[in-house]
Amino acid sequence: MKFASIRVVTRNIDRLVEFYQTLCGIEAVRPADGFAELRFNGATLAISSEYLIELFNVGAAIAAKNQSAILEFEVEDVDTVFERMNAFGTTIVMPATSMPWGNRSLLLRDPDGNLVNLFSRPTH
């Protein structure tokens, strides 16, 4: 088995794609109307319009209702990402902070309210 992707369902795909492109610095691929992918080495962040779920799997996923998952990205410099996303107008849950275990971490919310953790590991 190979882990392939995480899919986030949204009512406003263009807004969410713009957010993640700004966050990650990766241009999204749009293989179909209402669907986009940000392809990383080893995994993909897929973004789907809620209407696609309604077409094929009504009620299976509801946009902007996540209260349990956290999308996590390892970055080289959390402070640089903090500055970029703060300028973008992102809701910051926890500013760039050094954690007791050594990571530097930043928590923010995407436009749909999904929690996103960005962290960098300590350099030794």
Q: Other CB atoms closer than 10 Å to residue 63's CB: what's the count?
A: 19
Domains defined along the chain, listed by start: 1-65 (3.10.180.10), 66-124 (3.10.180.10)
Read off the pTM. 0.89
pLDDT tens figures, 11-49: 999 999 999 999 999 999 999 999 999 999 989 999 999
